[in-house]
Structure 1
Amino acid sequence: MTSGRRWAQVWRAAVFLLAALATGIATLIALPLLCHPRLARRWANWHRGRAGRLLGTPLAARPALRAPGRRAWADPATLRDLLWLPVNALTGTVFGLLTLLCVGNLVPAAVATPLWWAFAPEERPRLFIDIPVTGWTSALTLGPLQMLLLAALAYLALPPIARAHARICLAVLSHSTAEQLADRVAVLTRTRADVLDAHGAELRRIERDLHDGTQARLVAIAVRLAVARRVLYDNPRNEQLLEDLLRDAHEGTEEAMTELREVIRTVYPPILADRGLTGALTAVTARCGVPTRLDVGDLDTVPAAVEAVVYFAVAEALTNVTKHSRATAAGITVIRRADRLSVAITDNGVGGADDRGGTGLAGIRRRVLALDGAVDVDSPAGGPTTITMELPCRS
């Protein structure tokens, strides 16, 4: 992992844990109010969503409680929602205070090092909890030392602490086996409907392309050949007209073949059959308008459907990078772990990518979910952007 990506994880973990501190304190203050089953469900769903995104396993929210009175309290998930309240108050506050202690003490050190002299003697900043800064010697030694130690602590400790808090959240709020099965059925039902809609739209597009393009050209070729045959029968000495008709028919045949190849390419790119997934991704990254690093591990045999999804997803993502991100560099990493294929697409652009507006990212998500995969988009404002895909890859 590069240092830049690691520091991005540290920043994300710090934000996550400081938010956990805020929610832990809010839980303590509003505990009587949050004990209402419907509010507890919303509170728990919000935390499950945060934890799932941090761990790269987005989870569907539990349905909102609509049953009144005792039936709401009888819902098996309500007990887990209520259990999360004290657990979050404890873990969120403890982990958040540790993060605040680490991050918060970076600020005094950063201020004390260059500006210690601007404070009155009795108000001068203190480093390492209780050591006053009295001169340039202590400022230039203790200040950088404190910043270095706290930065190293944040670098090493904050991501695992954040993941630990997220795992605790998911452990408390995890579905029962029956709920997991119901959620899985719901996801598969939704993705099946999306796939059927996309499949119908794709068939209509292919039919339209063939009808308006290739078929029209083939009809024109047939007409020219019929005229040429008539000319050959009625006036065989008119060689110039015959030559013009046959030339037009020949050019029309080549254009029809080109259009037919374009249609075929949108169904299953021939480059995948010719060069495999690694070669196809190499060609895609080479055509990208942003310098792109490609890192592909040993993939062994990848199912054709998975290859097609990865190819189209990477092509769409790099198109978005070129058009919208204002990035100067991008990276593609493809790794196979047992029966899972992991694809990470990164760029150092301005961020802010969102798939809720029906953009190309939504199409990527539909393609991946159709194969029982998972997609996570991490694109804070200001960047960087990371799109992670996990696909089943059983040979």
Structure 2
Amino acid sequence: MHSVIGAARVRLIRAGRSARYLLGTLVTAVVTLVAAPLLCVPSLAAAWADSHRRRAGVLLGRPVQPRPRALRRDLAWLATQVATGLPAGLLALVLLADVLHTFAITVGWWAFPASEPPRLPLLGVHIDDWAAALTIGLVQFLLLAALVVMALPPLARLHARCCQAVLALSPADQLAARVTELTQTRTGVLQAHGAELRRIERDLHDGTQARLVAIAMRLAVAGETFSKDPDAAAVLVRQAQAETEEAMTELRSVIRTIYPPVLADQGLAGALGALATRAGVPTRIDIGELGEVPAAVEVIAYFAVTEALANIARHSRATTAAVRVTRDGALLSAQITDDGSGGADASRGSGLDGIRRRAAALDGTMQISSPPGGPTTITVELPCV
């Protein structure tokens, strides 16, 4: 019984969404017909077409990816929208109007004058008593409602698929878009690589190199003073030894930013487990069966989780966080969530943009869902090829 009610509820919700889509389509088709000369402007045509692509994607449950401007396809969609949107929207409007009209007559026939009883749409039968209302009127209402539930969802999906098919990129356009994307990715990778090299050089120059120079100077002085003052030379040697240990610590820190030793020792799962113990908020780690992961993918996944947890500790005011890493075929996915205040935005030039650029270096992606008030979910997907 519960399953039947649940299935009926799902059908009603789907019919409601489809009706809303088709009525919106009727409106956009009328606007397209009336404002056709204005909508032929390339920028307006692209914006108008993309708005409907998003509506179609929401109905079909398919995320719509950004696309380069394609004027010919946008103009073709304007014509297609008028040719298909008007009849589809009008059909939905007529069916819904008949359902409402029938319902109003079935329950409110008595409010009409006895000399002018209301007439049902379609059948044209007069309703002038409760017997007719609860038989003919009710049957017509249920049949029309069933027709709406059965007909509008496939009609809406058909129109949405038609919209996406007309606006889909041709193979040549897809190739051009891919070349543009790879060019941008290559530029980002080169910039990130240059910044990383400058950071390593700066760390070595300002830290390790300075300490090594100090060690060399102390040892030189110790060598000069050893014959005259062995005790002073011994002090300088001990100071040089302490400086050497500090230089080794700094050098290990620099090496850790290049390839964390914990990855080599414990693998990605062990490294993330160790990372969770040092996170600023209680963090749950869930690692699936990963198999053999390329070293470059391990490094980027590790740094992505490291940066995300650091941002959570610094900015989110979260009380808990979770890291889930899974692999589906050749795709490694790392998902970091927190219950903080939300509002994370990679476009502000924060560490999140660094995650995006690192992922793009391997043709991977990063997606952020962070509405105001939270929660925040960062998903990094990396191909293991």
**Does the TM-score normalized on the shorter chain lie above 0.5?**
yes
SS at match of 2:67: coil
Q: Tell me, in whole angstroms, the C-alpha distance in 1 between the residues paired with 2:290 and 2:351.
A: 26
Cα RMSD of the aligned pairs, angstroms, is 3.4
Structure 2 counterpart of 1:357: 348
Instruction: String of CA shifts for 1:226-245, please: whole Å, max 9, x gaps.
Output: 1111112x31xx23202210
The structural deviation recorded for 1:169 is 5.9
Q: Tell me, in whole angstroms, the C-alpha distance in 2 between the residues paired with 1:283 and 1:182.
A: 43
> Taking structure 1 as reference, are residues 231 and 371 closer, same or farther at Cα in structure 2, changes over 3 Å only?
same
1:138-153 matches, cutoff 5 A: none
1:119-130 matches, cutoff 5 A: none
Matched, 1:195 2:200: no
The structural deviation recorded for 1:163 is 11
Contact 1:344 1:388 in 2 (8 A): yes
Matched, 1:60 2:54: no
SS at match of 2:323: strand
SS at match of 2:358: helix
Q: Tell me, in whole angstroms, the C-alpha distance in 2 between the residues paired with 1:165 and 1:241.
A: 89
1:79 corresponds, among 76, 93, 97, to 76
Contact 2:49 2:74 in 1 (8 A): no
Contact 1:314 1:345 in 2 (8 A): yes
Q: Which amino acid aligns with 1:290?
A: V
SS at match of 1:366: helix
The structural deviation recorded for 1:170 is 4.5
**Unaligned residue ranges in structure 2 (runs of 5+):** 1-9, 97-155
> Taking structure 1 as reference, are residues 376 and 198 closer, same or farther at Cα in structure 2, changes over 3 Å only?
same
Structure 1 counterpart of 2:375: 384
Matched, 1:212 2:175: no
2:278 corresponds, among 269, 277, 287, to 287
Q: Tell me, in whole angstroms, the C-alpha distance in 2 between the residues paired with 1:55 and 1:343.
A: 23
Higher relative contact order structure (alpha carbons within 8 Å, sequence separation ≥ 6):
1
SS at match of 1:328: coil
SS at match of 1:30: helix
Structure 1 counterpart of 2:49: 44
TM-score, normalised with respect to structure 2: 0.69
Instruction: String of CA shifts for 1:56-78, please: whole Å, max 9, x gaps.
Output: 86623323x6xxxxxx5xx2454
Contact 2:368 2:379 in 1 (8 A): yes
Structure 2 counterpart of 1:158: none
Contact 2:218 2:236 in 1 (8 A): yes
Matched, 1:30 2:3: no
Q: Tell me, in whole angstroms, the C-alpha distance in 2 between the residues paired with 1:206 and 1:347.
A: 31
Larger radius of gyration: 2
Contact 1:288 1:322 in 2 (8 A): yes
Contact 1:40 1:82 in 2 (8 A): no
Q: Which amino acid aligns with 1:194?
A: G
What is the total number of aligned residue pairs between the two structures? Answer: 302
Q: Which amino acid aligns with 2:250?
A: E
TM-score, normalised with respect to structure 1: 0.67
Q: Tell me, in whole angstroms, the C-alpha distance in 2 between the residues paired with 1:165 and 1:332.
A: 40
Q: Tell me, in whole angstroms, the C-alpha distance in 2 between the residues paired with 1:347 and 1:296.
A: 17
Instruction: String of CA shifts for 1:6-49, please: whole Å, max 9, x gaps.
Output: xxxx9xx99xx699689546514522326525223112334556
Q: Which amino acid aligns with 1:60?
A: P
SS at match of 1:327: coil
> Kindly, what percent of the aligned residue pairs are identical?
52
Contact 2:76 2:166 in 1 (8 A): no
Structure 1 counterpart of 2:309: 318
Contact 2:29 2:85 in 1 (8 A): no
Instruction: String of CA shifts for 1:205-257, please: whole Å, max 9, x gaps.
Output: 1111111111111011011111111112x31xx23202210111001101111
